[in-house]
Amino acid sequence: MSDQQLQHLTDSVAYLPADHETDRPILAAISGKDRTLLLDAGNSPAHARLFLTQVAKLDRPRPELVAITHWHWDHVFGMKEMGLPSIAHHETKSMLQKLLPYDWSDEALAHRVEQGSEIPFCADMIKKEFPPASRGEIAIVLPTITFADQIEIELGGITCRMDHVGGDHAYDSAVLYVEQERVLFLGDALAPDIYTKERNYTTAGFLALLERIAAYPAEWYVESHGTPLPRAQFWQEMDEMRAVALLTEQCHGAREEIMERLPENIGRALREDDAQLVQYFISGWKKNCS
């Protein structure tokens, strides 16, 4: 994990790549002439320290704020280590308030998994990122500034806009658009709902979210657990996901019919990961029909 190095996407945007070993998301630094804004706080103090150490080496203004895309643990457990005022949607604050009394021991995690308020994947990743002896480092910090729909942050010649977009993954999800650089940070907004027995996408919700994202004149798209994609590649992938969503509606969630019609709709042979994506949409379809 410690060999991750800061990468430069544009003159004003640098990022620490995602690390899937312990589900560390991308962290970013966006700099103007006057100040630097950080995006997401990391999944642990160690993750935040790694990022801050590398950001400090940049010839840029010191970080003054950290923007949080949503409440999930891997984006917020480094907030105390960041030591900065933070900005998030008001529902992010509400969700983090619920985490304040939580115990993070193995026993407590197992109990919440059994109750259904935690999922095995997140519990396992927390254990990997935090050995038992370091579990006491977990501290929930509430956002300093909250917003409802939109907030602009002026960095000095660089303007960042946070918009609440929601989505299946987390109701509080916000994206951050760097206007002058035409970079759109998506957080996990386009990911499926994972806090459920079966991961799923709702077709209507996903299609509506794609419409919102299409309104940004971005040239780079950054999902938290992926790699930055240029416009053409990103929309090729999104068009394929849109095709799956539309087929799920047209076929009323009938898996065999969706799989049969999908190659023609996306213009290529099916891959192994297509079956999983189809199942996510079918699970969402069934959930809405129940």
Rounded mean pLDDT for each run of 10 residues along the chain, 290 residues in total: 84 97 98 98 98 97 97 98 98 98 96 95 97 93 98 98 97 98 98 94 97 98 98 98 98 97 96 95 89
Q: Are residues 170 and 281 in the same domain?
A: no
Q: Do residue 187 and residue 253 come from a single domain?
A: no
What type of residue is 142? L
| 149 and 19 belong to one structural domain | yes
CA pair distance 228, 16, nearest whole angstrom: 11
**Residue 92 domain boundaries:** 7-195+216-227
Tokens standing for 273? 């990961």
H helix intervals, the chain = 45-55, 73-76, 79-82, 90-99, 106-115, 120-129, 203-214, 231-250, 255-266, 272-289
Q: How many CB atoms lie within 10 A of CB 191?
A: 22
Asked, for residue 211, whether it belongs to a domain, the answer is: no
Q: DSSP letters along 60-72, please?
A: SPPEEEEE-----
Residue 236 within a domain:
no
- Both tokens assigned to 22: 């312990």
C-alpha 109/C-alpha 103 separation (Å) is 8
* Domain count for the chain: 2
Judgement on whether residues 137 and 279 belong to the same structural domain of the protein: no
Q: Does 276 fall in a domain?
A: yes
Q: What is the reported pLDDT for 135?
A: 92
Q: Beta strands 86-89 and 145-147: pairing type? A: parallel
pLDDT at 1: 46
pLDDT at 2: 55
Q: Which amino acid is at 281?
A: F
Task: Summarize pLDDT for 183-238 with one digit per residue, the tens.
Answer: 999 999 999 999 998 999 999 999 999 999 999 999 999 999 999 999 999 999 99
Please indicate, yes or no, if residue 62 is contained in any of the structural domains.
Answer: yes
Q: What is the pLDDT of residue 3?
A: 74
Do residue 24 and residue 66 come from a single domain? yes
DSSP helix/strand/coil, 268: coil
- What is the CATH classification number for the domain harbouring 137? 3.60.15.10
Does residue 183 belong to any structural domain of this protein?
Answer: yes
Domain boundary among 227, 251, 277: 227
Which pLDDT belongs to residue 104? 96
